[in-house]
Structure 1
Amino acid sequence: MERRFVKVEKGMGPQGRIAVVRFDRGDDINALSHQAMRELRDVPRDFEDDLETSVVILTGSARAFSAGFDLKDPEGRQRDTMAIGERIHRQRLGPKMCKAWQDMEQVTVAAIEGHCIGGGAALVVALDFRTCGRSAHFRIPEVELGMNMSWGSIPRMLALMGPARTKQAVILASDRIGAAEALAWGLVETVVEDGQALPAAMAFAERIARQPPIPVRMSKTTVNRFAHALDDLGSHMDSEQNVLTGLTEDYREGTSAFREKRKPSFKGR
């Protein structure tokens, strides 16, 4: 598949052990259309047999990591006319994308500038480390749109932030989480000056790239196996829940309010 929005550059850093993946739709919004998600899902396959790369950095544009799922994507809006089974199948693209990045043997680092919203946040919590610019912010708007937070992200956020902060981030969906809060909550590990997220991620990646590759991969895999051993118990019904909430009146109200730039009025039905 030809990639329109994602570019992969390998052979960087010490002994060429660093790769940079750039997701940039050229509009400073970087929404996750189905095409963009397929491209990001497939990137980890480039590294399955790559024993030379130790670290993969994922970054967005200079002004935005991602605005999350593209509600204006024509392909995405077809879901309203699909049968339930087809909706569930289509909804699994986002979770597969995130899981593919989590399962990479290489250490993964997100370099985040600007906004990182919804599906963008779901993607970065699937990575090993996160560095962001001082003006970056995060938001998890799904609940305010009448949906559940899916893509397997809640167990990952729980591992990073703990129960209370995860509930706060997900339930208080309209609240922005600034870089300082994200650092204090454990959502990111490093905050740097604006425009320096990628250089800082590269400097961190260089430190990892100088370590012996085999035990680095083993260590990452062991930590992930323990940290995410129970993830499937908390997220195996994500797609079904998303389809179910997508059939509610509150979902129609939430998405309509978003498009009309007004506050939603939910009825619980």
Structure 2
Amino acid sequence: MSPTPPPHSEQITVAFPKEHVLLVTLNRPKSLNALTPTMTEDLRQILNWFEDETSLWVVIVTGAGRAFCAGADLKAWNADEQSGKPQEADKILANVNGFASISRRESKKPYIAALNGSSFGGGTELLLNCDLVVASKEAVIGLPEVKRGVIAIQGGIPRLARSVGHQLASEMLLLGNPVSAEDARNRFGFVNFVVPPADVLPTALAVATQIISNSPDSVQSTKRALLLSAQHSNNETVAVHARSTETLATYRGENIKEGLKAFNEKRKPMWQNPAKL
């Protein structure tokens, strides 16, 4: 039986394509899935719920129609600017998880971006903070903020710089030109798989299936170490990670016993939901 997500608008759809997997679809195809305040609030509630729902181990984020996400709704943003309601720093910082409640989220669970189509602005900031990215070979990916007089301020700049280095990040951010999905994989390195459009969701689900075949405790502890690695030196990362809640839960939980027992008995392990942290 699938868990019950929080109530949400029709601008977001929620499904459970496989046990332990949540699929979230941005559902404004006519507007290229540009985010509205309603979508932002829907995503905040759904993803906060996902973080606490122990039966869900992985989330896939995709878009409806021909685009993944065009970023912020620039028509609404323009209306705010012209009426004297600019995007102030306090408002940006108050959104602690960033654009779409994802671009600055530090989750213990894996996030997979399934780029059914092109991604721009905040949509690209969103995917840069996902752990794995599957992209349609027809997708283009861009951070065109400088062409609109705005800034990729929701986490895209530091994430991209850390991922690809200063010069390649500058190429995307200062020129504002989009790159192909193939370039995003081969030159920039922030896309994992490039596939035909019809294969995007099946590939993302296959990746999720591989993840959930592993111990959820081990996966969550490993994800924590990946996040810590961006903040600390090697030795500091090991020291902080060894005392993290996720690592303590791994070593004190049942799945470590099951994994080792299954290995010795030459069978597949039967993982349990991780204990609530």
TM-score of the superposed pair, with normalisation by structure 1: 0.76
Amino acid at match of 1:8: V
The share of aligned pairs that are identical, in percent, is: 26
Provide the rounded CA distance (Å) in 2 between the counterparts of 1:106 and 1:52.
12
| Shift of residue 28, structure 1, vs aligned partner | 5.7
Aligned residues of 1:134 and 1:192 also touching (Cα < 8 A): yes
**Equivalent residue for 1:156, pick from 150, 156, 159:** 159
| Shift of residue 95, structure 1, vs aligned partner | 6.0
1:96 aligned partner: 97
- Structure with more relative contact order (C-alpha pairs < 8 Å, separation 6 or more): 1
| Shift of residue 224, structure 1, vs aligned partner | 0.9
Provide the rounded CA distance (Å) in 2 between the counterparts of 1:48 and 1:8.
15
**Equivalent residue for 2:215, pick from 202, 212, 216:** 212
Aligned residues of 1:37 and 1:97 also touching (Cα < 8 A): no
Amino acid at match of 1:197: V
Which shows bigger deviation, 203-212 or 34-43? 34-43
Amino acid at match of 1:153: G
1:182 aligned partner: 184
Q: Secondary structure at 2:134's aligned position in 1?
A: strand
| Shift of residue 202, structure 1, vs aligned partner | 0.3
Provide the rounded CA distance (Å) in 1 between the counterparts of 2:232 and 2:73.
31
| Shift of residue 79, structure 1, vs aligned partner | 4.2
| Shift of residue 50, structure 1, vs aligned partner | 1.1
* 2:4 paired with 1:4: no
| Shift of residue 200, structure 1, vs aligned partner | 0.4
Which structure's CA Rg is the greater one? 2
Structure 2 CA distance for partners of 1:144 and 1:94, relative to 1, 3 Å: farther
| Shift of residue 120, structure 1, vs aligned partner | 0.4
Structure 2 CA distance for partners of 1:82 and 1:88, relative to 1, 3 Å: farther
Q: Secondary structure at 1:201's aligned position in 2?
A: helix
TM-score of the superposed pair, with normalisation by structure 2: 0.74
2:57 aligned partner: 54
Unaligned ranges ≥5, structure 2 = 1-6, 234-277
Q: Secondary structure at 2:9's aligned position in 1?
A: coil
Q: Secondary structure at 1:22's aligned position in 2?
A: strand
1:77 aligned partner: 79
Matches within 5 A, 1:1-269: 2-10=8-16, 12-13=17-18, 16-27=19-30, 29-73=32-76, 77-82=79-84, 87-92=88-93, 96-98=97-99, 100-101=101-102, 102-173=105-176, 175-184=177-186, 185-228=188-231
- CA-based RMSD of the aligned residues comes to 2.3
Aligned residues of 1:33 and 1:76 also touching (Cα < 8 A): no
| Shift of residue 3, structure 1, vs aligned partner | 2.1
Aligned residues of 1:56 and 1:108 also touching (Cα < 8 A): yes
Aligned residues of 2:141 and 2:180 also touching (Cα < 8 A): yes
Amino acid at match of 1:183: R
